[in-house]
């Protein structure tokens, strides 16, 4: 169930699915939150890979700048994973929740996006590192922050930003999963089960994304960010 739902949202919204995996794993199991972030990272590799293939098969093209996103994502994913077990994550989650609310507001009420930084290598590296650190720390693919940043500062359209983000998510999440689970095969197995279960959902969601209006995708993504934000705020208040 967790895999299927996360996979579907991965395909439709261009996210890795971790923002669904982590809360549901935490709610339905008695496992530690930080362990669940590792399981989520493993699952994200499967669903993000499938969703990436769907986007490419639907004619989505990408520029050379995606390589800088990937490099930054790998660096950030490694750093975030190393910090997971040594940092208190509640403060980070609260700041992140507020950031999501600001981003969702911009997604709903801004009519268009353009940027003079769209061909800036440093911009893509920084976006990759920042989203990679969050991916490593929280077990998310990083798309919920990577996509808005690519739209606002990279001047990309929503579908293009989602495609960029999905492809970047694969090596980023793989780096995070390996760093966290390399010594624990049982949790790696659980992550694989969740990820494999999400493949069908990601295929359905990925194909659906190309049949939906751009404005609907923007609004849906913004509403999704609001729900994730409130979930984080509620969870960290306990």
- 89 versus 165: the higher-pLDDT residue is 165
- Residue 92 has what pLDDT? 65
113 has pLDDT over 60 = no
For 143, the token pair is 């798309």
- Residue 117 has what pLDDT? 52
Instruction: Indicate the number of domains in the chain.
Output: 1
- 92 versus 78: the higher-pLDDT residue is 78
- Residue 193 has what pLDDT? 92
Number of Cβ within 10 Å of residue 70's Cβ equals: 21
Number of Cβ within 10 Å of residue 6's Cβ equals: 32
Q: Give the domain extent around 208.
A: 2-236
pLDDT digits (tens, 9 = 90+) for 51-76: 888 888 877 667 788 899 899 989 98
- 20 versus 190: the higher-pLDDT residue is 190
- Residue 71 has what pLDDT? 93
Using pLDDT thresholds of 50, 70 and 90, give the confidence band for residue 125: very high
Q: Output the average pLDDT for the chain.
A: 80
**Dist. CA 25–CA 23, nearest whole Å:** 6
* CB-CB contact of 193 with 1 (8 Å): no
- 123 versus 59: the higher-pLDDT residue is 123
| 101 Cβ neighbours under 8 A, 6+ residues apart | 225, 226, 229
**Dist. CA 5–CA 218, nearest whole Å:** 20
Average pLDDT over residues 128-155: 81
- Residue 131 has what pLDDT? 86
Using pLDDT thresholds of 50, 70 and 90, give the confidence band for residue 139: confident
- Residue 148 has what pLDDT? 81
Positive or negative CA dihedral for 154, 159, 160, 161?
positive
């Amino acid at each position: 169930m967790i895999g299927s739902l996360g996979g579907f949202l991965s395909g439709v919204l261009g996210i890795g699915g971790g923002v669904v995996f982590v809360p549901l794993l935490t709610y339905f199991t008695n496992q530690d939150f930080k362990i669940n972030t590792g399981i989520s990272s493993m699952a994200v590799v499967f669903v993000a890979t499938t969703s990436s293939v769907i986007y490419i098969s639907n004619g989505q093209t990408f520029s050379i700048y995606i390589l800088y996103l990937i490099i930054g994502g790998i660096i950030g994913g490694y750093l975030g994973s190393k910090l997971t077990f040594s940092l208190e994550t509640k403060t980070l989650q609260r700041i992140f929740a507020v950031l999501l609310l600001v981003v969702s507001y911009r997604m709903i009420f801004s009519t268009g996006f353009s940027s003079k930084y769209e061909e800036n290598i440093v911009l893509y590296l920084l976006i990759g590192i920042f989203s990679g650190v969050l991916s490593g720390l929280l077990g998310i693919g990083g798309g919920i922050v990577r996509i808005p940043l690519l739209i606002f500062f990279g001047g990309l359209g929503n579908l293009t930003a989602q495609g960029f983000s999905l492809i970047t998510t694969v090596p980023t999440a793989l780096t995070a999963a390996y760093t966290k689970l390399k010594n624990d095969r049982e949790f790696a197995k659980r992550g694989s089960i969740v990820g494999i279960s999400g493949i069908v959902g990601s295929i359905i969601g990925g194909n659906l994304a190309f049949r939906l209006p751009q404005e609907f995708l923007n609004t849906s993504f913004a509403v999704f960010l609001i729900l994730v934000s409130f979930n984080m705020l509620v969870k960290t208040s306990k």
